[in-house]
Structure 1
Amino acid sequence: MANTKITQVHNVNPEELTESISTAVEKILAPFRESFKLQKPTEWITRKQVGELLSISLVTVDDWTHRNLLTAYRISNKKRYKLSEVENALTKINN
């Protein structure tokens, strides 16, 4: 027969014990929750979508890519851009 241990808790009702355990587990898991947050997946857009988004021609999209103002990623023979990087390429002008 297996050796079993029994622990008795006195002067604590089941609700208090449950709450105490839940609080302790929450405190331990809180740092991990921050590091394992689900991240929004990368949204890829085409040259045409970049042109429409920025109201520029495809020639200008290619020119800006060539001048490293925009970063293109090649998937087979197609160019794709990260939407977040296109948005970050825009800079604020103070007049």
Structure 2
Amino acid sequence: MDNLILTTYTPEQLTGIINNAVTEAVKNIKIQASTPPSEKLLTRKETADKLKISLVTLNDWTKRGLIQSYLIGGRVLYKDSEIEASLYKTQTVKY
């Protein structure tokens, strides 16, 4: 068992210790809240289902550069925000 050391504090000292601890905890929460949440990544199947296309079509669109894919840990993944943005992107093709 750890050694237990008992000390006495005045009410003002104890209030100061508690205030410092709470202030540090609030700062840590604000820092964590200010960082953006991690991007949601979709698998090939989830992406194809979202776009209502086949996996073959998804592969074709990826190869043609219509949709950006990422290879992470040997898996092909797509960013959800980029898939949403690609739905509204238009390109003019001249024949």
Give the TM-score category using the shorter length.
0.5 to 0.7
Aligned length: 59
Q: CA RMSD in A?
A: 2.0
Percent of aligned positions with the same letter in both sequences?
A: 39
Partner of 2:23 in structure 1? Answer: none
Higher helix share: 2
* Separation (CA, whole Å) in 2 of partners of 1:92 and 1:64: 13
* SS of corresponding position for 2:34: coil
Asked whether 1:55 is paired with 2:87, we answer: no
Cα deviation, residue 76, structure 1: 3.0
For residue 78 of structure 1, report the CA deviation from its aligned partner. Answer: 1.0
Tell which structure's C-alpha radius of gyration is larger.
Answer: 1
Q: In the alignment, which residue of structure 1 is the partner of 2:85?
A: 88
Cα offsets for 1:19-71 (capped at 9, x unmatched)? xxxxxxxxxxxxxx8xx823121101101000000100000110010011111
Q: Where in structure 1 are there 5+ consecutive unaligned residues?
A: 1-32
Partner of 1:39: 36
Following TM superposition, where does structure 1 have runs of at least 4 consecutive aligned residues deviating by more than 2 angstroms? none
Q: Which residue of 2 aligns with 1:68?
A: 65
- How far residue 92 of structure 1 moved from its aligned partner, in angstroms, is 6.8
Instruction: Tell me the TM-score normalized by structure 2.
Output: 0.56
In structure 2, the partner of 1:8 is: none
Residue ranges of structure 2 left out of the alignment (5+ in a row): 1-29, 91-95
TM-score normalized with structure 1 length: 0.56
1:59 is paired with a residue whose SS is helix
